Structure 1
């Protein structure tokens, strides 16, 4: 994360905010499942798989599979396309906008939630290095580990500023979730349309930047 330039960090923070925002909406729409936070879905599936709510376990597993599928698509795009970042965020924009339009038809359905999960999964492939994501976009556990290690480093003679970037990304995710919970009161179609508009703006920024590789190109867990 420390090798990512300020422009890429700003984009990562904006996308982390969108991820938290969309996750809050998905959580409220489904009554307890996530579209960005797969650790939560994994625990949910494990707890319910042998219980009376096995359907919830299957739903959680389906969302996890969709998230991974989004990562796969983004990873392939990052490999085969010359300038993939605007394409990846643009595709996520279309997916979220489509779900916003479909949400006008009524309550959330599993496949619509799965489409959101795939879009969030793809965002994690924006900054890759050595075959892995280097900047956390949709999850907070790894970011908090990075924050803790940076604080430990600062206490033992290391950089006194390294903790700022993971704190920014975690704060963006949590702040986005708060805003998403508020926006959900206006209805999922409008709330998701706002998320799609923000993603469209990020897509435009990436297109203007030419999706040029950043210094030490990097997105992490």
Structure 2
């Protein structure tokens, strides 16, 4: 986060909020499984394999779907070059529209598949040297960097960057609160809202200047 300018930081926070929104909707729709937090699904896979192997299919399928989304998004990002951000986000929007259609037509596999692949693809939005530079759907790394930044600030180091990581985490948290609220009150509309959010982010991405060399 700290290597990016203010517009890109705000953009990353908005995308993290979108990820939080979608993950909350997925969590409430999939009996406590996640569509973006694969560490949690990996733990649940391990627990299932150790205690009840028959229940391991769900987390395994979600992990595979997330991996497929990351792979597909990475290939698109490589093909799109300087248009990486809007192209990846257009792919995310398309997958979320598929998920919304899956809920509308009572097709849970399509709904969850679209959500989990969208969250995997989303992580290709910010890259440096061909690798993810800002994880948008998982916050463990952000919290580690937040803690390190706080330590640096307490030690007297200027510009430790902790506020940027705190804002990224806060964005995901606020999005999750909103997603849970909307899922609870209008479950048939929440994925259409997420799709519209992703389309809006495509427009924002198109307005950003090209990434500087990092």
Whether the TM-score (by the shorter chain) exceeds 0.5 is yes
Match of 2:41?
Answer: 41
How far 1:215 moved relative to its partner? 5.5
* Bigger mean CA offset, 124-133 vs 33-42: 124-133
* Bigger mean CA offset, 133-142 vs 111-120: 111-120
Note the residue ranges of structure 1 that are not aligned, 5 or more in a row: 217-221
How far 1:136 moved relative to its partner? 2.2
Match of 1:69?
Answer: 68
Q: Once superposed, which parts of structure 1, at least 4 consecutive aligned residues long, lie more than 4 Å away? A: none
How far 1:110 moved relative to its partner? 3.5
Indicate yes or no: 2:175 matched with 1:176: yes
Match of 2:211?
Answer: 213
**1:133-164 C-alpha deviation (Å, 9 max, x unpaired):** 11120001000001001011112232255110
Return the alpha-carbon distance in structure 2 between the equivalents of residues 202 and 150 of structure 1: 28
TM-score if structure 1 supplies the norm length?
0.90
**1:155-181 C-alpha deviation (Å, 9 max, x unpaired):** 223225511010001011111111101
The answer (yes or no) to whether the contact 2:37–2:137 under 8 Å persists in 1 is: yes
Note the residue ranges of structure 2 that are not aligned, 5 or more in a row: none
Return the alpha-carbon distance in structure 2 between the equivalents of residues 214 and 34 of structure 1: 34
Match of 1:102?
Answer: 102
**1:108-155 C-alpha deviation (Å, 9 max, x unpaired):** 623431221111111111111133211120001000001001011112
The answer (yes or no) to whether the contact 2:99–2:113 under 8 Å persists in 1 is: no
Match of 2:122?
Answer: 123
How far 1:199 moved relative to its partner? 0.9
Match of 1:219?
Answer: none
The answer (yes or no) to whether the contact 1:101–1:189 under 8 Å persists in 2 is: no
Alpha-carbon RMSD:
1.6
TM-score if structure 2 supplies the norm length?
0.93
The answer (yes or no) to whether the contact 1:74–1:122 under 8 Å persists in 2 is: yes
The answer (yes or no) to whether the contact 2:100–2:111 under 8 Å persists in 1 is: no
How far 1:204 moved relative to its partner? 0.9
Return the alpha-carbon distance in structure 1 between the equivalents of residues 57 and 6 of structure 2: 40
Return the alpha-carbon distance in structure 2 between the equivalents of residues 203 and 99 of structure 1: 18
